[in-house]
A and B are shown apart, each in its own frame.
Chain A
Amino acid sequence: MLQGLDCNYPRTWMNCSGERVHKMAVFSIVIQQIVNGLILGSFYSLIALGYSMVYGIIKLLNFAHGDIYMVGAFVGYGALGILGSKLGVGWLGIAVALLISMFLVGLLGMLIHRVAYQPLINKRAPRMSLLITAVGVSFTLFNGVMVLTNGEYKTFNTSLGYEGISIGLINITYTQIIMVVATAILMLALYWFINRTLYGKAMRAIALDQDACRLMGINVTKTIGLTFFVGSALAAAAGVMAGVYYGSIQFYMGFVIGLKAFTAAVIGGIGSIPGAMLGGLVLGLLETAGTQLPFIGSAWKDVFSFGILILLLVFKPTGILGKSEIERM
């Protein structure tokens, strides 16, 4: 690991003994930070996809999505605990736990849609009521997990080490590489699903015109449920990966990251799937860069992200890849 990163002077170009770091070292810090930013961005992207898909299809800001990510991390933790003795706590065990968590949390997403959101959609309730319901779901998940875990931190026991590839001073661990590759695989799978399958086509059609879809014989409710399944499963994948990567999870881990992922979805253009992917990576990189700036630092990191969100909403609410749209009352 590079010295300059983990010592008491993370924001200046100095190493731990206070000497100015060599130019090469500065370059490698930059590369390291880009890697960190990409990983953070991968998590943001995976969560942002769920926000964006649900928003695109029913115009609901699914406030509980950050908590879905948190639940995903805990389900993955539980699955790894049960499977660990048989499959080991290496990559195989983690991959299986990830898939189990994605499936179960996907079902949870469908259940939430059925129980909490669909009755309101059927009643054509105002969008504010839907939003408040989402806040209620978020409260339920958040406090439910808090009660179940007694508010304690849970540590992911994995056998992943810090081995990796070193090029000069740059050190990238295999874990980091696998995280980014896994995210890329999930995104490609999603892209294929949305653009190449009949279900994906139905989703895109519903986002355009629900009533026309009903006339064409598409089961709108089921397709919306499927969207919740996919979005929640992706968030769960991010949750398990974050748990593995950072090592510990707790019940409030979903709140701030949920906000950030929403920011990412808006940056990319909400409702747009490539936009959510791009937005997540952009936000991850911006935030990592922001943390390195002397006047921001980690204490003001969240203010920096929310500041970006607010500026963006004011000046370019459609995001990078979004289409402009007029709110229908």
Chain B
Amino acid sequence: MIIGEQKPLEEIKNLVTEYERILVLGCGTCVTVCFAGGEKEVGILASSLRMATRIDGQEKVFDEATVQRQCEWEFLDAVEEEIRSHDLVLSMACGIGVQAIVERFPEARVAPAINTTFLGLPEEHGLWTERCAACGECILHLTAGICPIARCAKSMLNGPCGGSQGGRCEIDPEVPCAWQLIYDRLKAQGRLDQMLEITPARDWSTGRDGGPRRLVREDLRIQSQDHE
């Protein structure tokens, strides 16, 4: 899922300074699960802002709403009236949700209340770690299901490097070496010979290096069906 983290309250206060009627808009999907921008967090943030701005002597209205998915225009239509009747939408969704609002309602002023951090999973309560870099060319079958692109600091295709010490990455002792994890799992699965296979330099244009990406599924496009 997409992991996010709420911005500091002081920063959010600065984002709303010049607006009076603010809609705090949550998202019911990824950011709800990682406790960053769901209905509960919308309530806490809106209450905090009401109190904080009042203490600062400002008269502002903070209304609350949460949609199931801010990253799809159809779900945003459910709160069209609320969006149009406020000076600012303070989005608690990921960066996709924020952009979906302005694409659907171009005149709407939108500000992000959370920082979108990465694609990952919860390892334990209160701990999320990165798992996928959305690189566009998955090789998890070669690496025992552990992603060296997202989990190796150098995104090495043939590791480990010399910075792997005692199973940890040189960038931070908290970070496990992805290639140590790959080695250990291949060994446990009796597939260590896989480590000897050299993965050639890959085409990075499927990732962010290729610029903004788009995915077309002609079989799903309504336009393409009309042509048949």
Q: Do A and B come from the same complex?
A: no
